[in-house]
């Protein structure tokens, strides 16, 4: 927001303050001067104002802050009532407030015999310096007062307002009726509802209260009688109206944040004086000042002892009084060290003691605060799921995966194939930025697919990516966020000159899942063949831990791979929170001193027979000395019938107590072989 140094100086008697000093001190007290243009009186300051300080969004208000920050006198400029003619304003128009909660006060003056002209060069110059184009005196005068005092005003052509039963042009502050319309100054016809606060004449709305006037009642070059409005509207009412129509004006910006309820008449007098000076005319006698609701001044207690203990530093009592007084707070010491502080009507942001403490410390300066530390604190807890997520990140990075970070939203089309990945439905953003940001992802795998596509398009197709993040769903209207570890493999694995590389396959995916479980010390999950709509049939599995499905792994379906412009991609997604992590070991056994023994068994069996079947046959009925069963080698082709495969299993035996004898190991091997033979359609090499 722009401010002219000369205009501020109007409220600072004496020499114009130095621009650089004003800039620095205003910034120190919370009015950040982002830049300046020009020099001397013509200098313009660009100030960033926070939403809680509408009182600073005008030259008088900012000058008051500057005076306090600079330790200079602030002197208000008197706005005397203009010279008035004999005709009473009350005999020319009426004002009625039907909604006292939404409009506390409506002050109006009437000027007759006006000839619409340009505003004075002084007014035009000031508005131009702030970046506004002069229009005509009535409009420019209202803008000038808005930027001077922060009071938004409006000028009606009195002769366009329809008359009430008393025969006088009427101003009625009321809610719009359903279906009423109003063409605003910008030429847009707006359909209204009771949610809108309007200014109406006897028949129809003539302005959106606090936002914009109507076109048909606006000042024109032929206007001779003007009704000037200076009102206090409720912030909520103006904000609602402005938002419903997507409008934002200088007036609504101030009303929405809160204007000074006590400055309507002052603003009215200033604008009248400016108008008459430019356009002549006679000011009707008196202000039509309708006060629907008194807004009493706020009184807040400030305890000096509380201020000192809250800040952790002393600010002398007298200094507190000095600062508050400079900012126009009314101060009375009601008991030793306790002030009763009357808040100026424009300080809508000050309600409580802490607000007053802020007033004091921001003027003293935050730089004066000592650097202290709170007393020592002994942490006894930390959110375990965050630690688990971080451990999953470390495990996957250690397994050679690169961590990705992708948006939580994806397009509806991208999400749709994966809806079955979560229970419930994908949350939909009602005011999204457009595609691809409309739904919350059902799995972080979608982000990895996007990442893969990005890289493949840049010629980087050998990828091993992971993301530990959330998936999102709505279940019966309630959001559910689950913590997922997702991986994606694409392209070749093991590219090195000494050996041939191979494409990433299912077992790379299941291996990543197994590495994750192993890293957490959890038992290997069961991989259960499953039909999963977004994965290739026959190369997809559910990840099952303790009988519960906690994730999935597989080759992305061909259709999806094509849709994502990818080659074959292996993906997996595991619920990190569901990995059954055992407590750390508490009773460690010495490793056996006795070396174990491995024996091999070679089984020919149908291709359709799962490894799990072979493994179970070996395990079930085996002695306690059986330690492991591994797949050593699979052979299809020469010497093996079509539809069959030859699998070599390695069976490891060992004992904690003794060395095992060759005889017993051979016996166990033969027993295992006979159990394998009991499985239909199997043959074991060397065993009839």
Partner 1 sequence: MSGNRPEAGGSGGPQAASPGSPVSVEEARGLFAAELTESEAAASPRGGFLPADVAALKVRWLGKKQGVVTALLARLKEVPKEEKSAFGAGVNALKQEVEARLDALEAEALARAAALAEAAKAVDVTLPPRVPPVGRLHPLTVVRRRIEASFRGLGYEIADGPEIETDWYNFESLNFPPDHPARDAVDTFFVEGGGTGRDALLLRTHTSPVQMRTMESRKPPIRVLCPGRVYRKDDIDPRHSPVFHQMEGLVVDEGITFAHLRGTLAAFAKSFFGGRAEVRLAPTFFPFVEPGVDCAVSCAFCEKGCRICSFSGWIEIMGAGMVHPNVLAAAGIDPERYTGFAFGMGIDRITMLLHGIPDLRLLFENDVRFLDRTWS
User: In this chain, which of 396, 485, 576, 614 binds partner 1, going by CB under 8 A?
Assistant: 396
Between residue 308 and residue 327, which ones bind partner 1 under the rule CB under 8 A?
309-313
Nearer to partner 1, 276 or 350 (CB): 350
Nearer to partner 1, 252 or 269 (CB): 252
Judged by DSSP in three states, 321 sits in helix
Judged by DSSP in three states, 120 sits in coil
User: In this chain, which of 465, 513, 561, 574 binds partner 1, going by CB under 8 A?
Assistant: 465
Residue 166 near partner 1 by CB under 8 A: no
User: In this chain, which of 122, 183, 416, 460 binds partner 1, going by CB under 8 A?
Assistant: 460
Q: How far is the CB of 397 from partner 1 (least distance, A)?
A: 3
Between residue 355 and residue 384, which ones bind partner 1 under the rule CB under 8 A?
355, 357-358, 361-362, 366-367, 369-383
432: Cβ contacts below 8 Å, ≥ 6 apart = 409, 438
Q: How far is the CB of 71 from partner 1 (least distance, A)?
A: 17
Q: How far is the CB of 454 from partner 1 (least distance, A)?
A: 6
> Do the strands 282-285 and 84-88 form a parallel or antiparallel pair, or are they unpaired?
parallel
How far is the C-alpha of 348 from the C-alpha of 104, rounded, in Å? 15
Residue 429 near partner 1 by CB under 8 A: yes
Q: How far is the CB of 432 from partner 1 (least distance, A)?
A: 7
Residue 477 near partner 1 by CB under 8 A: yes
Q: How far is the CB of 493 from partner 1 (least distance, A)?
A: 8
Q: Are 161 and 170 in contact (CB under 8 A)?
A: yes
In the block, residue with structure tokens 């007014």: 123
Nearer to partner 1, 377 or 500 (CB): 377
How far is the C-alpha of 665 from the C-alpha of 577, rounded, in Å? 42
Closest CA to 229 of 96, 110, 339: 110
User: In this chain, which of 91, 193, 352, 608 binds partner 1, going by CB under 8 A?
Assistant: 352
How far is the C-alpha of 501 from the C-alpha of 498, rounded, in Å? 9
Residue 411, classified by CB atoms within 10 Å of its CB into exposed (0-12), middle (13-18) or buried (19+), is: middle
Nearer to partner 1, 113 or 344 (CB): 344
Residue 401 near partner 1 by CB under 8 A: yes
Nearer to partner 1, 234 or 272 (CB): 234
Residue 20 near partner 1 by CB under 8 A: no
Give the count of residues interacting with partner 1 (CB under 8 A).
96
Residue 408 near partner 1 by CB under 8 A: yes
Q: What are phi and psi of 144, to 5 degrees?
A: -60, -45
Residue 458, classified by CB atoms within 10 Å of its CB into exposed (0-12), middle (13-18) or buried (19+), is: exposed
Residue 51 near partner 1 by CB under 8 A: yes
Residue 496 near partner 1 by CB under 8 A: yes
How far is the C-alpha of 366 from the C-alpha of 359, rounded, in Å? 11
Q: How far is the CB of 494 from partner 1 (least distance, A)?
A: 9
Residue 481 near partner 1 by CB under 8 A: yes
Between residue 507 and residue 546, which ones bind partner 1 under the rule CB under 8 A?
none
Residues paired with 227 in a beta bridge: 110, 156
Q: Are 665 and 685 in contact (CB under 8 A)?
A: no
Q: Please report which residue ranges of 130-210 form alpha helices under DSSP H.
A: 137-149
Nearer to partner 1, 38 or 479 (CB): 479
How far is the C-alpha of 506 from the C-alpha of 572, rounded, in Å? 10
x/- letters, 245..284, toward partner 1 (CB under 8 A): -----------xx---------------------------
x/- letters, 203..242, toward partner 1 (CB under 8 A): --------------------------------xx--xx--
Token couple for 643: 């539809």
Task: Report the b/e string of 216-254 with b at 16+ CB within 10 A.
Answer: ebbbeeebebbbbbbbbbbbebbbbbbeebebebebbbb
Token couple for 511: 């291996």
């Amino acid at each position: 927001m722009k401010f002219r140094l000369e205009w501020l100086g109007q409220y600072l008697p004496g020499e114009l303050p130095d621009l650089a000093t004003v800039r620095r001190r205003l910034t120190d007290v919370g009015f950040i001067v982002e830049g300046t243009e020009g020099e001397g009186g013509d200098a313009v300051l660009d100030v960033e104002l926070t939403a809680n300080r509408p009182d600073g969004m005008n030259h008088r208000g900012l000058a008051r802050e500057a005076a306090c920050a600079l330790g200079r006198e602030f002197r208000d400029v008197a706005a005397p009532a203009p010279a008035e003619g004999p005709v009473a304003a009350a005999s020319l128009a009426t004002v009625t407030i039907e909604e006292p909660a939404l409009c506390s006060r409506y002050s109006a003056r009437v000027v007759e015999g006006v000839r619409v002209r340009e505003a004075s060069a002084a007014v035009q110059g000031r508005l131009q310096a702030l970046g506004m184009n002069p229009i005509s005196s009535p409009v420019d005068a209202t803008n000038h007062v808005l930027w001077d005092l922060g009071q938004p005003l409006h000028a009606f052509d009195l002769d366009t307002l329809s008359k009430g039963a008393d025969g006088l042009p009427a101003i009625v502050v009321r809610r719009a009726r359903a279906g009423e319309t109003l063409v605003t100054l910008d030429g847009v016809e707006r359909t209204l509802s009771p949610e809108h606060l309007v200014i109406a004449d006897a028949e129809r709305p003539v302005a959106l209260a606090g936002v914009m006037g109507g076109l048909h009642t606006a000042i024109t070059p032929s206007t001779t009688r003007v009704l000037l409005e200076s009102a206090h509207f409720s912030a909520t009412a103006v904000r609602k109206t402005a938002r419903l129509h997507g409008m934002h004006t200088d007036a609504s910006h101030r009303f929405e944040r809160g204007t000074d309820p006590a400055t309507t008449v002052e603003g009215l007098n200033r604008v009248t004086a400016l108008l008459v000076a430019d356009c002549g005319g006679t000011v009707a006698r008196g202000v039509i000042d309708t006060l629907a609701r008194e807004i009493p001044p706020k009184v807040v207690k400030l305890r000096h002892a509380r201020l000192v203990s809250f800040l952790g530093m002393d600010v002398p009592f007298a200094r507190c009084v000095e600062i508050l007084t400079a900012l126009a707070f009314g101060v009375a010491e009601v008991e030793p060290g306790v002030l009763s502080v009357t808040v100026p009507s424009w300080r809508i942001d000050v309600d409580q003691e802490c607000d007053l403490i802020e007033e004091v410390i921001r003027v003293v300066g935050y730089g004066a605060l000592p650097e202290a530390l709170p007393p020592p604190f002994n942490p006894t807890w930390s959110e375990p799921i965050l630690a688990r997520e971080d451990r999953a990140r470390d495990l996957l990075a250690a397994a050679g995966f690169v961590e990705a970070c992708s948006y939580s939203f994806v397009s509806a089309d991208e999400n749709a194939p994966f809806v079955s990945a979560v229970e419930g439905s994908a949350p939909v953003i009602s005011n999204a930025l457009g595609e691809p940001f409309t739904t919350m992802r059902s799995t972080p795998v979608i982000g990895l697919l996007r990442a893969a596509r990005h890289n493949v398009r840049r010629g980087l197709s050998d990828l091993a990516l992971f993301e530990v993040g959330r998936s999102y769903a709505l279940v019966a209207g309630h959001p559910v966020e689950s913590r997922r570890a997702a991986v994606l493999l694409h392209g070749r694995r093991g590219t090195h000159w000494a050996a041939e590389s191979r494409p990433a396959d299912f077992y790379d995916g299941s291996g990543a899942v197994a590495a994750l479980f192993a890293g957490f010390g959890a038992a290997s999950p069961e991989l259960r063949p499953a039909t999963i709509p977004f994965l290739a049939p026959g190369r997809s599995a559910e990840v099952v831990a303790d009988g519960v499905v906690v994730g999935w792994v597989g080759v992305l379906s061909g259709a999806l791979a094509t849709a994502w412009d990818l080659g074959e991609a292996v993906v997996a997604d595991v619920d990190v929170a569901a990995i059954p992590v055992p407590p750390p070991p508490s009773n460690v056994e010495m490793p056996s001193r006795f070396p174990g023994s491995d024996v091999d068994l070679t089984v020919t069996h149908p291709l359709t027979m799962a490894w799990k079947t072979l493994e179970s046959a070996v395990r079930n009925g085996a002695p306690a000395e059986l330690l492991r069963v591994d797949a050593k080698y699979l052979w299809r082709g020469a010497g093996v019938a079509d539809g069959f495969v030859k699998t070599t299993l390695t069976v490891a035996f060992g004992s904690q107590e003794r060395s095992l004898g060759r005889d017993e190991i051979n016996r166990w091997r033969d027993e295992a072989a006979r159990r394998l033979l009991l499985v239909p359609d199997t043959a074991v090499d060397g065993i009839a």
